[in-house]
Amino acid sequence: MAGNSIGQLFKLSTFGESHGPALGGVVDGCPPGLELNEADLQHDLDRRKPGQSRYTTARREADEVKILSGVFEGKTTGTSIGLVIENTDQRSKDYSKIKDVFRPGHGDYSYWHKYGVRDYRGGGRSSARETAIRVAAGAIAKKYLKQFHGIEVRGCLSQLGPIKAQQYDWNEVHNNAFFFPDASQIDALDEYMRDLKKQGDSIGAKVTVVAKSVPVGLGEPVFDRLDAELAHSLMSINAVKGVEIGDGFAVVEQKGSQGRDELTPQGFTSNHAGGVLAGISTGQDIVASIALKPTSSITVVGQSINTRNEAVEMITKGRHDPCVGIRAVPIAEAMMAITLMDHLLRQRAQNPHVAHEFGPIPGQK
Amino acid sequence: MAGNSIGQLFKLSTFGESHGPALGGVVDGCPPGLELNEADLQHDLDRRKPGQSRYTTARREADEVKILSGVFEGKTTGTSIGLVIENTDQRSKDYSKIKDVFRPGHGDYSYWHKYGVRDYRGGGRSSARETAIRVAAGAIAKKYLKQFHGIEVRGCLSQLGPIKAQQYDWNEVHNNAFFFPDASQIDALDEYMRDLKKQGDSIGAKVTVVAKSVPVGLGEPVFDRLDAELAHSLMSINAVKGVEIGDGFAVVEQKGSQGRDELTPQGFTSNHAGGVLAGISTGQDIVASIALKPTSSITVVGQSINTRNEAVEMITKGRHDPCVGIRAVPIAEAMMAITLMDHLLRQRAQNPHVAHEFGPIPGQK
Amino acid sequence: MAGNSIGQLFKLSTFGESHGPALGGVVDGCPPGLELNEADLQHDLDRRKPGQSRYTTARREADEVKILSGVFEGKTTGTSIGLVIENTDQRSKDYSKIKDVFRPGHGDYSYWHKYGVRDYRGGGRSSARETAIRVAAGAIAKKYLKQFHGIEVRGCLSQLGPIKAQQYDWNEVHNNAFFFPDASQIDALDEYMRDLKKQGDSIGAKVTVVAKSVPVGLGEPVFDRLDAELAHSLMSINAVKGVEIGDGFAVVEQKGSQGRDELTPQGFTSNHAGGVLAGISTGQDIVASIALKPTSSITVVGQSINTRNEAVEMITKGRHDPCVGIRAVPIAEAMMAITLMDHLLRQRAQNPHVAHEFGPIPGQK
Amino acid sequence: MAGNSIGQLFKLSTFGESHGPALGGVVDGCPPGLELNEADLQHDLDRRKPGQSRYTTARREADEVKILSGVFEGKTTGTSIGLVIENTDQRSKDYSKIKDVFRPGHGDYSYWHKYGVRDYRGGGRSSARETAIRVAAGAIAKKYLKQFHGIEVRGCLSQLGPIKAQQYDWNEVHNNAFFFPDASQIDALDEYMRDLKKQGDSIGAKVTVVAKSVPVGLGEPVFDRLDAELAHSLMSINAVKGVEIGDGFAVVEQKGSQGRDELTPQGFTSNHAGGVLAGISTGQDIVASIALKPTSSITVVGQSINTRNEAVEMITKGRHDPCVGIRAVPIAEAMMAITLMDHLLRQRAQNPHVAHEFGPIPGQK
């Protein structure tokens, strides 16, 4: 309980169910002086929004975010920023059939046993809809990191089922509905998704996020390592079952003479470590990848039980993403940005030299 | 900064450098009434201890833990438990050669840039020696989980370089110096390690930890998911570059019809999810794996720089583990146990029914 | 920064400025199963609301709270509860006169120097308006404490300027606009306030809050003492300059033979300690008092400066409470309830016996 | 539980019982570069130490603190600082008489009911001996605040029973065993204490702590107000029953025209607020006072019960302070210093301009 917050100095606390009146959150710890308006948040929200292409759910949510506090005359004031997104597409329908049934692969079973009650109209807090607020909060962090420190956080779909990106062209990511960085495989992706739709099935995916121009020194060497906190924030995204930093699981078969990143007076010669050594950023790109499982909301019949422990057969009709990994790209960017922002502020507290680029505060010597 | 604690209700705060007088920590939040003495902690410390076999470093540390508080008449009192392990094997030697040099693949570079100072005699807080206190604290959590809830946390080396365990026999884990669960491959491991030693090189590894008999309901559905907090605690172990829950990265190529764990009145038919759905335990085994990179402390020459940004050639002599993954097994068990213990207490706060097996407290109605 | 949350297991995070679109917050950690609707919160909000009598500000705010999440079919679900109160009475007026001026006794000066920017239309986050969300959150805690544990939190105005309550009749508190427990002095209060209004001045006050039927054992013996956390939460109310537990500052002149609360088989013979010994509740009433300074928003001319450090003369016109202590009564109750609720959950985590009165969760053994 | 830590960015976690082998703690978050050795801590520990004068307990504890980590070549490294103080004067004696008895006015009753077990040889964690580690940690904070920011934290005994300081001469504080700032009343104090000793009784006291040269801007405007966190940290000291900031409870009878601190181009004209407005430091002296109750460890017979709820008569023999307020002076200084240090680091995170006096970190641009 009380598990709806993340971050220490840049802290996001969220609320809201998919079928309630609204989602919302509090972003606490954004420094004063950042130019901010709702359009800044809307851009990433629109990237995450359902209904953007035929590859994602046909549900339509306006996902219009309102800033309720913390911004005055177009700039952040240093006080907490209240965010709300109203739920507009809650179709009224008959939920009595699924009320007492646990969808296999979903949180229904664990959730119901934990709380003894659940909002059976949707996934409750387990709904991926909750991530909309993360994306809005992440957009604040991204803007701050970019504007004051030149740090850029970008993500892409690096693999969808069997189809892997062979090249990473960040410009290409914006050109296709998959956030895929490899133009040569867009047709293959398109064909794969059409087949999948016919089968009524879903597929897993891998998402890679990269932060450029991160200063050396972010992260703590023991429990609050930058990589450990990235693992936390990225694994907290729905459907994620694995997190890698840099080479990730490939290191299992590496030798030490291969895997170490050597140093020269001109800089590192490689980046196997993904920009983190001893839990602290090295100044190289921070590289993290996540594995997203295929959604269990499919029309292939599955076995399950109800709350009376009786066997039932289930299919999950409705408007669902056949590959939840696609829309996870902006969410992963948001989580990485939130974690980096938190560590940037923490490093400032300890090492006041980090932020010399700031001019004086008006009214202070 | 202030990043040396983990856990909310079962909280470990640690201190100590490899070359200072001692390591230590505070375990805060252990409930009263657990029988506990130093021998309970020593068992796991001895499993982690260097010098136990020819496959690990020849350094010898007594690693004798002292309990300084929180235990009275052989039982925990509910107050904070102070732990100290003295450093006994700090060879006095001449560190002047490595004082200004960054070992490639180590935290020296990021650490020095973060703090502007470092204890050049060892890795400072980045030293794997720091994990001894985690193992001691984890042993407390393991004992509590076992005794009051029947939960058992076990780990093994599931892969060393190219050699993967083909079968998981938990009894075998105790029979070999690799914590390997597959007796048929011990000879191959032995041979591999001999060759590696001749090369002066090191190798990566994969460690798998499993918790049995975990009750359904541990974990929170949003940021403090059980899997997200496991990712945090496991990724905070030195050299870990990846964390998987259940099928992990294999889900990328799975279809939804394959990957979902179906339910029958007799229980789940599979455990692809690794015992966690929507961030909440399902009552199945919690299964997590981590990838550990090969140590960079090898005798193969590497390029690096010194603090004056001059090129230097380096080899790291000394007594180092050719595969740090081996000794990581008890460390990973400890981190999983600490995270489970924390969530068990959190679940109790929210759902008082979890702990009905407890008898009355003496003196209370 | 990131200072807009209170509590660990029952956690309130708030946002909102007095002159922005809305106030709001997230209540994280309310257990499932509590019957809750907006009317439950509105009762205390109405007690705090301005414009209720001629003794408080004539500003009119509807202060209608909306529950945006965490409640389903009339009961809490265990997930975070989103709360919003729209600001309806933001008179559009010309703020240019006060834009660059620091009102003496207000946070304008410290606030502006801290952030370098402030919402000059009101007190920003320093506005007492922020406490409306505390009262709403406190009403949730109060209901839970009452319903599941029989704990009752009540407050009253125990002193206004020179007029002290001589007797404490809790029924009387609801009969007058001062929340005063002593019927014999209502006329004196009325007369005092009329005089004050003529002078254009304001007056300090003392508020006392009492919690009945608190179980023995809440609170921790070192830093998170129940009394220390009450001091924190009560001192965080606007205008509070002192906090007392039990006899408070009277202990300075007490002897040990007078001040100790003796025990008999029938219970304690006195309650000098205010229900807390060694930071832990004793099972007696928890008694705390706070001192509230007179508001500086008065029409008596005062000296101040502007942001250019030039001398200015100021009076604060507008609709202000001549005694902010009156409306602080429900706020103090809310803060005590939030702190008790947090410690109740913490005690449950450690001592599962606290909550034996709960029935089984549906679906669990 | 898990209540043995205080602070967010400068965090102290402690352990240790009065009759166990040692006390200790972890100071997490001290920035690198502070010159520090054990003598720096010993000075304040000696001021707190028992047996320093005939007015305090005759128990003798060496109270020698050891620094186990976090300092290298005479300077802090930015990593966590481990502290240990061995208990040397644990007289072995027969505790069987007090084993089952609750001393009135002590935490025995609440403590035992909370945990169901207690270390009956002393107060366990409720023992004032626990504060030795606070004093050691506070000395680190005090040195940092002084050296890098010119902030000075000083305390004195401002009242003992009926005897109040009429003047505050900080030089006098070091000249007498009472930490009393008024030389004219030392004889009266001496006489009062002699009488008290004859009676076998104890007396309450008031301690005042003042921080000079605190920059404007420390503290957050809502829950984490500087005054609220000071109230928390000061109320967490044993025997404290009240906390005041600035004028404290005197504000109850003040009018707004008296109590506001007016501003002129030359600065504030008064400091009724005690240096805190809207929870944020104003740049004036931070002034806080605490009320300490008389110890219940007296030889005047009192009524109590045992664990079988039988009436018993008690006197507490042994070596106890007749006025615990005296030795509380360095403890209160320590707690104020820890809280200021925490807020200084927090302000830096938000406002990087605070620490411009720092030179560059070696090796960084």
Q: 136-175 in D: which are within 8 Å (CB) of B?
A: none
On the question of pLDDT at A63 being above 80, the answer is yes
For D89-118, what is the mean pLDDT? 81
On the question of pLDDT at A359 being above 60, the answer is no
Q: State whether residue C87 sits within 8 Å of chain D by CB.
A: no
Span B5-354 CATH architecture: 4-Layer Sandwich (3.60)
Determine, for residues B15 and D7 on separate chains, whether the beta-carbon distance falls below 8 Å: no
Asked whether C104 and C304 are in contact (CB, 8 A), the reply is yes
Q: State whether residue D330 sits within 8 Å of chain B by CB.
A: no
For residue range C181-200, what is the model confidence (pLDDT) as tens digits? Answer: 999 999 999 999 999 999 99
Q: State whether residue C33 sits within 8 Å of chain A by CB.
A: yes
B284 burial (CB, 10 Å; 0-12 / 13-18 / 19+) is: buried
- How far, in Å, CA of A117 to CA of C77, rounded? 6
For D7-353, give the CATH class: alpha beta
Among residues B244, B241, B219, the alpha carbon closest in space to that of B339 is found at B219
Span A5-249+269-354 CATH architecture: 4-Layer Sandwich (3.60)
Least confident of A70-84, B190-204, D39-53, D275-289: D39-53
Determine, for residues B353 and C345 on separate chains, whether the beta-carbon distance falls below 8 Å: no
For residue range B177-189, what is the model confidence (pLDDT) as tens digits? Answer: 999 999 999 999 9
Q: What pLDDT does B362 receive?
A: 42
- How far, in Å, CA of D273 to CA of D245, rounded? 7
For B30-45, what is the mean pLDDT? 94
Subunits with at least 3 CB pairs below 8 A relative to chain D? A, B, C
What's the Rg (C-alpha) of chain A? 21
Q: What pLDDT does A67 receive?
A: 98
Q: What pLDDT does B352 receive?
A: 60
Q: Is C54 annotated as a binding residue?
A: yes
Q: What pLDDT does A92 receive?
A: 57
Chain A neighbors of B130, CB-CB under 8 A: 222
Chain D closest-CA separation from residue C99 CA (Å): 16
User: How many angstroms separate the first and last alpha carbons of chain B?
Assistant: 44
On the question of pLDDT at D354 being above 80, the answer is no
For residue range B292-331, what is the model confidence (pLDDT) as tens digits? Answer: 999 988 889 999 999 899 999 988 776 678 899 999 999 9
For residue range A161-217, what is the model confidence (pLDDT) as tens digits? Answer: 999 999 999 999 999 999 999 999 999 999 999 999 999 999 999 999 999 999 999
For residue range D208-251, what is the model confidence (pLDDT) as tens digits? Answer: 999 999 999 999 999 999 999 999 999 999 999 999 999 999 99
Could you tell me the maximum CA-CA distance found in chain C, to the nearest angstrom?
Answer: 72
Chain D neighbors of A278, CB-CB under 8 A: none
Strand partners, C75: C35, C72
Among all residues of chain A, which has the CA nearest to that of B300? Answer: A257
Chain D neighbors of A350, CB-CB under 8 A: 9, 29, 31-32, 78, 345
Q: Could you tell me the residue ranges of all domains in chain D? A: 7-353
Determine, for residues A110 and B234 on separate chains, whether the beta-carbon distance falls below 8 Å: no
Chain B neighbors of D20, CB-CB under 8 A: 68-69, 72
Q: What pLDDT does A99 receive?
A: 84
Question: C117-129 b/e with 16+ CB inside 10 Å = b?
Answer: bbbbbbbbbbbbb
Q: Give the one of A79, A221, A345 whose C-beta lies nearest to D349's C-beta.
A: A345
Angle between helices A324-350 and A131-149 (to 10 degrees): 50
Q: Give the one of D15, D68, D79 whose C-beta lies nearest to B22's C-beta.
A: D68
Q: What pLDDT does C91 receive?
A: 60
Question: B317-348 b/e with 16+ CB inside 10 Å = b?
Answer: eeebbbbbbbbbbbbbbbbbbbbbbbbbbbbb
Among residues B186, B236, B243, B181, the alpha carbon closest in space to that of A252 is found at B243
What's the Rg (C-alpha) of chain B? 21
Span C5-353 CATH architecture: 4-Layer Sandwich (3.60)
Count CB neighbours of C145 within 10 A: 21
Asked whether A119 and A95 are in contact (CB, 8 A), the reply is no
Question: How high is the mean pLDDT of chain C?
Answer: 90
Determine, for residues D351 and A79 on separate chains, whether the beta-carbon distance falls below 8 Å: no
Asked whether C330 and B326 are in contact (CB, 8 A), the reply is no
- How far, in Å, CA of B12 to CA of B8, rounded? 9
On the question of pLDDT at B361 being above 60, the answer is no
The per-residue DSSP string of B111-164 comes to: HHHHHS---TTS-GGGSGGGHHHHHHHHHHHHHHHHHHH--EEEEEEEEETTEE
Binding residues of D: 48, 54, 125-127, 238-239, 278, 293-297, 319
Among all residues of chain C, which has the CA nearest to that of A79? Answer: C125
Query: What confidence tier does D363 reach under pLDDT thresholds 50, 70, 90?
Result: very low
Query: What confidence tier does C264 reach under pLDDT thresholds 50, 70, 90?
Result: very high
In this prediction the pTM is 0.95
Determine, for residues D82 and B24 on separate chains, whether the beta-carbon distance falls below 8 Å: yes
Query: What confidence tier does A363 reach under pLDDT thresholds 50, 70, 90?
Result: very low
For B325-350, what is the mean pLDDT? 95
Chain C neighbors of B356, CB-CB under 8 A: 352
On the question of pLDDT at A361 being above 50, the answer is no
Tokens found for residue C24: 């709001």
Q: What pLDDT does A66 receive?
A: 97
Tokens found for residue C300: 């008596």
For A244-268, what is the mean pLDDT? 95
Determine, for residues C294 and D254 on separate chains, whether the beta-carbon distance falls below 8 Å: yes
Asked whether D269 and D211 are in contact (CB, 8 A), the reply is no
ipTM value for the complex: 0.95
Q: What pLDDT does C291 receive?
A: 98
Q: State whether residue B277 sits within 8 Å of chain A by CB.
A: yes
For residue range D140-169, what is the model confidence (pLDDT) as tens digits? Answer: 999 999 998 999 999 999 999 999 999 999
Q: What pLDDT does B203 receive?
A: 97
On the question of pLDDT at D356 being above 80, the answer is no
Q: Which long-range contacts (CB under 8 A, 24 or more apart) does C187-192 make?
A: C188/C163, C189/C160, C189/C163, C192/C160, C192/C161, C192/C162, C192/C163
Which is more confidently placed, D260 or A363?
A: D260
Could you tell me the maximum CA-CA distance found in chain A, to the nearest angstrom?
Answer: 72
Q: If DSSP codes are grouped into helix, strand and coil, which group holds residue C186?
A: helix
For residue range C28-63, what is the model confidence (pLDDT) as tens digits? Answer: 999 999 999 999 999 999 998 876 777 766 666 778
Among residues C1, A79, C100, C99, the alpha carbon closest in space to that of D354 is found at C1
Q: What pLDDT does D95 receive?
A: 75
Q: 289-328 in B: which are within 8 Å (CB) of D?
A: 307
Least confident of B196-200, B241-245, C50-54: C50-54
| CA distances to C232, C233, D277 from C228, in Å | 6, 9, 21
Which is more confidently placed, A136 or A314?
A: A136
Q: State whether residue A20 sits within 8 Å of chain C by CB.
A: yes
- How far, in Å, CA of A293 to CA of A205, rounded? 7
Among all residues of chain A, which has the CA nearest to that of C25? Answer: A26
